[in-house]
Every structure is written in C-alpha cells, then in structure tokens.
Amino acid sequence: MKLDKLVGERFKERPADCVIDSHALMVRGGYIKQVGPGIYSTYTPLLRIARKIEQIIREEMDRIGAQEVLFPVIMPAALWEESGRYAGVGAELMRFEDRNGVNMVMGMTHEEAAVHLTREFGNSYQRYPFSVYQIQTKIRDEARPRAGLIRVREFIMKDAYSFHTNSEDLDACYDRFYEAYEKIFARAGIPEVVSVKSDSGMMGGSMAHEFMLLADVGEDTLVLCKECDFRANLEAAAKVSEVVISEKAGLDKVATPGCKTIEDVCKFLNLAENLSCKAIIYQKADGEQIVAFIRGDIEVNETKLRNVVGAEIYPATEVKMPLVAGYCGPVGLDGVKVFYDNSLKGIENLCCGANEEGFHYTGLNLERDCGAVEFFDFAKVVDGDICPNCGKNSLELARGIEVGNIFKLGDKYSKSMGMQYQDEAGGLHFPLMCSYGIGVERLAASICEVRRDDFGPIWPLAIAPWQVHLTCLRADEEAVRAVADGLYKDFLAAGIEIIYDDRVASTGVMFSDADLLGVPIRVIVSPRNLKQGVVEITSRDKSLKESVEIGKALEFVREKIT
RNA sequence: CGGGGUGUAGCGUAGUUUGGCUAGCGCGCCUGAUUUGGGAUCAGGAGGUCGCAGGUUCAAAUCCUGUCACCCCGACCA
C-alpha cells in the first residue's frame, strides 16, 4: 500500500472533543471518523488491526473446539420474548417495526439466537458439550457513549456460547475459555491483562469474570490486593471490616436538634463515626421504601445492595412515614423492609436515629435491641481495606478497561426458551450454558491506550496494521527512489505487509505520519544512507536502530518479524 | 433522563460581556520558487449563508425566543 493513497487525514492538532489520548491519536492518525455519538467509520489502518485481532481470536476459539457461526443482526422480538428479555432489557436494546408492523430488535448479544440455532441439535445428551461463536457487529443504544471506541453504540464483538449437561463439564469449559482468553490477550501484545470476579448483572448466572486492562481511563473500578492474588470488580469485592470494640451501654434517647447527618450527630455527641449506625433510604420501582443500615464511616455500594435486595433500587426521592428524614434508626421501626450491613455486626454501643424529629439513641446493641437481625455485605470497599483472601490491610483500587468477559449462565436461557435434551435414561433436562465476549475495537483502542508515546501508537507486531513502514526521503532524486521502489517490490513479493511512503515531503511530515501509524519496523531509504549503500532499519519502540546493506534488508526485516 | 458546556472553513481557534464585520489568525489544501534526517521558507490563491429558524434593530457571529447537534459529569452499562 502506498501511503499517499491511504484514505484518511493525519494531522498535528489534538481534536477538541477527544478526552483520552488513544481517542485523540486514533482521530489524528486517520484510524476513525465519528459519524454520530458512539458511531464511527473505520479507516484502513484500524480495520487491518481489527482483522488481525479477529484472526487471533478465531484461532484460539477454534483451538478449544468452538465453531464459528453467524447469527443475524436483526431478530424478531418474539425470539427475545421467549427469554423474557424483550421486556427485561432497557432502552439499550434497539427496537423497531418492520414494514408489516412486526416488532424487531437489533442484536446486542446473542444468547437467544444461540439457543434458537442449537436447540434441535442439542436434543440428545450425546451431542454435548458443544460451543459456537461468531464475530459480528453488535448494536447497543448506550445511554452515554464515551471515550472514542471505549464505549460505543455499534461495535464488532466475538461472542461465544457453550452448552453442557452438568456443572463439572461447564466448569471445565469455562476454564478452557479462561485460558484461551489469556492466550488471546498475550498474543495481541497485552499479557498484563488481569481477570477479576465480577457482578453477573443482567445476564444472570452464578459466576463471571471480567478481563481487565489496567488503565487510568478505564471505566471500571477494580479491587486488587498488594499482598496476594485477590482481584475483584468493586461490585463483587467482599468488604471485611474490623469489629469496633466499644463499652456496653444501655439504650438512651438523647436530643440532637438540627443534626440530620451522621457527621452532625457525631460531632454534637462527640462520638466516633464508626460507632454510629447510618440509615440510607432507597425505594423500589413501585415506590416501596427500604432502609439500608451501615456503619457511619462506611459507604453503601448500590450494586451490591441491589443484589442483596434482589430488585432495582433507587435513592429515595421523598421520605414517607414511618421514616423520619435525618432521624431514621432501627429501633421500633415497623412496616419497612430493612437491611443491615456486616459492618454493624458485634458493635455493642452504637448511635442511631430515634425515628423522631430531633432525637437519636445512644448505646444501641443491635442483637439486644432489635432481635435476631440478619447481616449482609453491601459496603463499598476503599483503599487500605482488609483483603478477604489474605486478611491484610492491603487492598487498593485501580481503574481498568473491560476487554473481555466470561459468564456462567446456568439454565436461564435453556429453561426460558425450552431447550432440552434427553439423557441415557430418556429423562429430559435443560442444558447449562456459558457465554464469552470480547470487544474487538475496544481491545484495539485499549492497546493504543497502553502502548503509545507522545507521537502515536506503538502497535504490537501481531496486530499492527502493517509489519513494515518504508520511508523514502528525497523521493524526487531518481537514484534514491529507484532503490526504495525496488525494496517495496521485493517486500511485497516476499509477502510482507508493507506501507510505502514515497511522497516528496519534508522529513518531519514523513516521520510524524509514520509515528501516527505506529508500524513496528521502519525502513528508511535516503541519499545519506544510499551513499554508504545501506538502509536504516528502526523499530517504532526505539529498541532497534541499525544500518543494513540494501541487498540484505529484506532478510534482516524478515527475521525481525517472524 | 438530570446537571454543566460548546457550536465561527477539513482541523484548532479569536471576536459574543459593551451590536458597527466587508468575520481575523494558525494548521491543512491549490500554484510557483527555494528547501529536505523530525510537522520547512517565501510569494500568490481557493475555501464561511458564524448550527438552524424566527424576532428586535438603520445595522446581528454579537441581543431575544425557539429549535437542532455535539462534548463532559451523573443515572445506565451483556
């Protein structure tokens, strides 16, 4: 490919609406062009990167026995009504009517299609286990696209689905995909990707891992242990809090005029915040109020609380009786569903609201004063917390980009969609399923985010748009051009992926464009080099810089890229 | 959906508070010359209904009303 014919503009100035560096570089380097919020056209360089990533994924999927299929992008809503997700999923599922008024959906994920495709094949235990995957465009009407290709509304995804007759087999397959994912990320040039346990979200199911690339611009918060290999998504990390030792005391109602926040109360009564019981009021979709009680110095993680409650919850918009805003406490609170966080367990002298304007209790002992209360974990983990695995105060929070995920779905889809197989004895059962996803362009953008310098991306060889970038300085001099043209032909003939810059332009422009394209190996032909009968061969990551005889350049480069 | 911000040439922007514009600058683009190892220099040139629609005014990029779009924060997120 000749660089002067490469469609797309490369330019110097950072686009004003790019917030993260990889996004700015991809726009500046002529990789993408925005069409609408979260919708992009892809120029040749990024498409070539995406195709290489897809090929790596394809090879690793095939290696573990998954087979490639293709599901439709658009599906009748009826298929999604089978699983219950037509009603269950929100506005991110794009819906439309066809010309006959039939409700249709745009595929955001393909569990339904996978069950639909395989449920006849899967009617006998003898066919199990099996797995299918596809690499295809997904449509999701994201509430807020952001950060270039990190969160978009249309993107290419590899999604795989496996089917099993028992949980041991499912676990084994899950592990195989897990290992395949590690290989995929390593081959793509980012072996540092880590997996974390995650909340299983709308997909349902029992266990899930997200594959995370640590980056400050990541949307997800991870909990990592500095002392052991404990890693979890913030929503899935168990909070361990030390029991605060306190002197026993009797329940005592005290006046706390005007003290509506836990800070006010503790200051007024001269108490430590970790000896207070804070009430956070939520409501369900139907308006029913629920109260989460948690230690005063700890915050609620709403996702964890949502899982404990087992329903959507929202911060209360208004506080209704019997709750008293600012003075809500567990003592004598009837008719409202309440949840206690683990952090309150074992504390014998707490301060809490008295459910009466202007009054709090001190000396609260939950077990003594409220009967047999049940404790849950819905507390937010913070830096320095205790690791649930090794017990040290060694947890730290980090940001990560989710580049892949794997889910144990169980029988959620097979049951709802009536997929069954017969066992040896003729009994009918619902197969168990897992699903596995990797976002292709997000992966490319993430790699750009962690493999770059001030001048452009530094693409790993395995996914680089080209292997070699040939630059001819002073292409207006015939002798120089002749050598460069010759090398270009030789490299092409040798099957090496090469981009050739033979423009008559200043060196600065040519080098800057090369930096933006981020091709790993660079070959420079110039009058200066020609005088010595050599070409200069460098690498984008600056680890290589050598003068090589013109006749030996091809062999030299071939060695570097294989 | 809530909060904030911005719309001026392909990109980046000045001008808007206080109306006087025939809209300025840099990059990029076209022509020519001189250059050529890190985004060259000089000369000449093309490119704008100032997001859109109304309104106020002798006069609107600038003031008013409406509307659309995009960006950021939040909600949401397999």
CA angle A80, A86, A91 (to 5 degrees): 135
Estimate in Å the CA A315 to C1' B74 gap, whole number: 13
Q: Report the greatest alpha carbon distance in chain A.
A: 98
Q: Which residue has the tokens 């350049």?
A: A553
A474 CB less than 7 Å from any atom of strand B: yes
User: Order of strands, edge to edge, in the sheet holding A375-376?
Assistant: A313-315, A277-284, A289-295, A337-341, A375-376
A283 band by pLDDT with thresholds 50, 70 and 90: confident
Estimate in Å the CA A67 to C1' B39 gap, whole number: 48
Please tell me the distance from the alpha carbon of residue A231 to that of residue A139, in angstroms, as a whole number: 30
Q: For residues A115 and A316, which has the higher predicted lDDT (pLDDT)?
A: A115
Task: Please give the average per-residue pLDDT across A435-451, as a whole number.
Answer: 95
Question: What values do phi and psi take at A453, rounded to 5?
Answer: -130, -165
- Residue A275 near residue A265 (C-beta atoms within 8 A): no
Chain centroid to CA A308: how far? Answer: 23
Within 229-288 of chain A, which residues have Cβ less than 7 Å from strand B? none
What is the sign, positive or negative, of the torsion defined by CA atoms of A434, A440, A441, A443?
positive
DSSP A380: P
Estimate in Å the CA A431 to C1' B77 gap, whole number: 28
Estimate in Å the CA A6 to C1' B26 gap, whole number: 26
A147 CB less than 7 Å from any atom of strand B: yes
The three-state secondary structure class of A56 is helix
Of the ranges A217-226, A238-247, A316-325, A475-484, the best mean pLDDT one: A475-484
Amino acid at A466: W
Task: Please give the average per-residue pLDDT across A105-121, as a whole number.
Answer: 95
Cα–Cα separations (whole angstroms), residue A226 to A164, A179, A214, A273, A384: 37, 23, 15, 27, 10
Task: Please give the average per-residue pLDDT across A16-44, as a whole number.
Answer: 91
A139 CB less than 7 Å from any atom of strand B: no
Chain centroid to CA A43: how far? Answer: 24
A153 CB less than 7 Å from any atom of strand B: no
Please tell me the distance from the alpha carbon of residue A103 to that of residue A85, in angstroms, as a whole number: 14
pLDDT digit string, tens, across residues A126-159:
999 999 999 999 999 998 898 889 999 999 999 9
A528 CB less than 7 Å from any atom of strand B: yes
ipTM: 0.90
- Residue A181 near residue A54 (C-beta atoms within 8 A): no
Tokens of A16: 């004003």
**Residue A275 exposure: Cα atoms within 13 Å on the Cβ side:** 20
**pLDDT for A291:** 85
**pLDDT for A401:** 92
* Closest to A343 in 3D by CA, of A271, A294, A395: A294
**pLDDT for A165:** 95
pLDDT digit string, tens, across residues A536-552:
999 999 999 999 999 99
A504 CB less than 7 Å from any atom of strand B: yes
How do beta strands A337-341 and A375-376 pair? parallel
pLDDT at A561 over 90: yes
Estimate in Å the CA A512 to C1' B11 gap, whole number: 17
Tokens of A522: 């660079």
A179 band by pLDDT with thresholds 50, 70 and 90: very high
Helix (H) or strand (E) holding A2: none
Task: Please give the average per-residue pLDDT across A197-214, as a whole number.
Answer: 73
Amino acid at A451: R
Task: Please give the average per-residue pLDDT across A475-481, as a whole number.
Answer: 93
pLDDT digit string, tens, across residues A227-238:
888 888 888 788
pLDDT digit string, tens, across residues A361-399:
888 887 888 877 888 888 888 888 888 888 888 888 888
* Closest to A199 in 3D by CA, of A284, A109, A303, A85: A303
**pLDDT for A199:** 65
pLDDT at A351 over 60: yes
**pLDDT for A202:** 45
**pLDDT for A200:** 57
Measured to protein CB atoms, the chain B nucleotides within 7 Å are: 1, 10-13, 26-28, 35-40, 69-78
**pLDDT for A203:** 44
| A528 nearest nt, CA–C1' | B37
| A39 nearest nt, CA–C1' | B70
pLDDT digit string, tens, across residues A406-422:
999 999 999 999 999 99
| A405 nearest nt, CA–C1' | B78
A507 CB less than 7 Å from any atom of strand B: yes
In this prediction, what percent of chain A has a pLDDT beyond 90? 56
A36 CB less than 7 Å from any atom of strand B: yes
